[in-house]
């Protein structure tokens, strides 16, 4: 699944392991060895597991891991202990350690689909896509009715650009869970990448209906509407995202850009100002405000806006050129000449021929 978004998709399946594995970590791990040949070892093991469970409940994952590792030394053939260690390592964000623990659990109990699923998830978090795909495939072999396994496999296929396999995986997930918002969302993302925007809209809308607060899905939906040329639907969808993520400056800029194309200058400025409230140094928003003010003939505010833009982007030839235009219209000719001259220098340094020509033309008009 950030942004990314999708792969991004950064995504992904955070809910899956959190739902599945805790039972392994907090319940099954309490099972003490009934076959221990020594009662003292059995009692010590039970004590360690009980203390570990209390630490898990208290959120002390490192302490719990240390106790479970001691328990694993006492009973080396108990896969539940290793799966519990893997789960806690995952909670800490140490997925490399989680992989080691889950692999040990898989060795000890190779037909347990939950262990293979947890291993696949951990490998996926590490970006080890080949290993994750193999582990998800094994999970599905052992349990064909696990929609999360199909979702995970689909994510890995999507990362690898295998869209057909990803689509097939999501369709299987949806056959098991028709109201799975993630499956609809991922399916829509793939269809969008394939240029099948109308089909993508259908899938993404289903996902948004089930989970209306998923801004990632809504951003993809806005993109799909744009590819279909439905600017009204795109704008409305972006505005939904802005409500969910008021601190997302890029969404505010996108809204401002759309309003600008619709000549709704007042609301466009408001959108850009909201973006600057979040990110005061956002050049695109500052430049857009200056351009709107200049187009409306509000010269003094435009001059202030362009001077602020130059502070943010001192090597921006367009900023100096636009400032020169505003100063010229304000009849501040010496200052306008200075701004156009600086614009010419910057355009020339960067080989921007079109900008260079317009700056020279402006200077020629002021310096006949």
Q: What was the pLDDT predicted at 107?
A: 95
Q: What region does 267 belong to: left with phi over 0, alpha with psi -120 to 50, or beta?
A: alpha
**Numbers of helices and strands, H then E, in the chain:** 21, 0
CATH architecture of 246-368: Alpha Horseshoe (1.25)
Cβ pair 312, 283 in contact under 8 A: yes
Cα separation, 273 vs 305, in Å, equals 11
Extents of the domains making up the chain: 1-140, 246-368
Say how many C-beta atoms besides its own lie within 10 A of residue 198's C-beta.
10
Count of alpha carbons within 13 angstroms of residue 140, beta-carbon side: 18
Q: Do the domains spanning 1-140 and 246-368 agree at the CATH topology level?
A: yes
Q: What was the pLDDT predicted at 43?
A: 67
Burial class of 354 by CB neighbour count within 10 A (0 to 12, 13 to 18, 19+): exposed
Q: What was the pLDDT predicted at 320?
A: 97
Angle ∠(230,232,234) on CA atoms, nearest 5: 70
Cα separation, 315 vs 305, in Å, equals 16
Structure tokens at 36: 């221990």
Query: To which residue do tokens 């001691």 refer?
Result: 70
DSSP 130-187: HHHHHHHHHHHHH-TT-HHHHHHHHHHHHHTT-HHHHHHHHHHHHHH-TT-HHHHHHH
15 DSSP assignment: H
Q: How far is CA 103 from the centre of its chain?
A: 28
Q: What was the pLDDT predicted at 293?
A: 97
35 DSSP assignment: S
Q: What was the pLDDT predicted at 65?
A: 80
Which homologous superfamily is 1-140 in? Tetratricopeptide repeat domain (1.25.40.10)
| pLDDT digits (tens), the chain, 368 positions | 333 332 232 223 222 323 233 334 433 444 444 444 556 556 666 777 777 677 677 777 687 788 878 777 877 888 888 888 888 889 889 999 999 999 999 999 999 999 999 999 999 999 999 999 999 999 999 999 999 999 999 999 999 999 999 999 999 999 999 999 999 999 999 999 999 999 999 999 999 999 999 999 999 999 999 999 999 999 999 999 999 999 999 999 999 999 999 999 999 999 999 999 999 999 999 999 999 999 999 999 999 999 999 999 999 999 999 999 999 999 999 999 999 999 999 999 999 999 999 999 999 999 76
């Amino acid at each position: 699944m950030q942004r990314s978004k999708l792969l991004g998709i950064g995504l992904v399946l955070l809910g899956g392991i959190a739902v599945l594995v805790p039972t392994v970590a907090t319940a099954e791990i309490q099972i003490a060895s009934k076959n221990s040949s020594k009662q003292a070892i059995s009692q010590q093991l039970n004590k360690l597991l009980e203390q570990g469970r209390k630490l898990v409940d208290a959120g002390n994952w490192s302490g719990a891991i240390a106790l479970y590792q001691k328990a694993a030394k006492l009973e080396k053939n108990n896969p539940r202990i290793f799966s519990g260690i893997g789960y806690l390592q995952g909670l800490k964000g140490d997925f490399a350690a989680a992989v080691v623990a889950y692999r040990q659990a898989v060795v000890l109990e190779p037909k347990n689909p939950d262990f293979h699923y947890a291993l696949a998830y951990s490998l996926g978090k590490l970006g080890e896509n080949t290993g994750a795909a193999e582990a998800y495939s094994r999970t599905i072999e052992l349990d064909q009715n696990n929609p999360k396994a199909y979702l995970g496999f689909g994510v890995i296929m999507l990362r690898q650009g295998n869209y057909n396999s990803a689509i097939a995986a999501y369709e299987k997930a949806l056959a098991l869970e028709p109201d799975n918002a993630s499956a609809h969302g991922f399916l829509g993302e793939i269809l969008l990448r394939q240029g099948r925007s109308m089909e993508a809209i259908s899938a993404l809308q289903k996902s948004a209906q089930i989970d209306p607060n998923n801004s990632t899905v809504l951003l993809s939906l806005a993109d799909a509407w744009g590819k279909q040329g439905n600017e009204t639907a795109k704008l409305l969808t972006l505005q939904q995202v802005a409500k969910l993520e008021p601190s997302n400056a890029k969404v505010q800029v996108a809204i401002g850009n759309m309003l600008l194309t619709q000549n709704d200058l007042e609301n466009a400025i408001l959108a850009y100002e909201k973006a600057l409230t979040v990110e005061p140094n956002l050049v695109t928003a500052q430049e857009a405000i200056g351009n709107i003010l200049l187009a409306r003939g509000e010269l003094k505010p435009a001059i202030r806006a362009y001077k602020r833009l130059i502070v943010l982007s001192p090597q921006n030839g367009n900023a100096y050129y636009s400032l020169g235009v505003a100063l010229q219209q304000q009849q501040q000719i010496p200052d306008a000449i200075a701004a156009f001259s600086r614009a010419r220098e910057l355009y020339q340094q960067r080989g921007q021929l079109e900008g260079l020509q317009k700056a020279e033309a402006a200077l020629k008009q002021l310096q006949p």
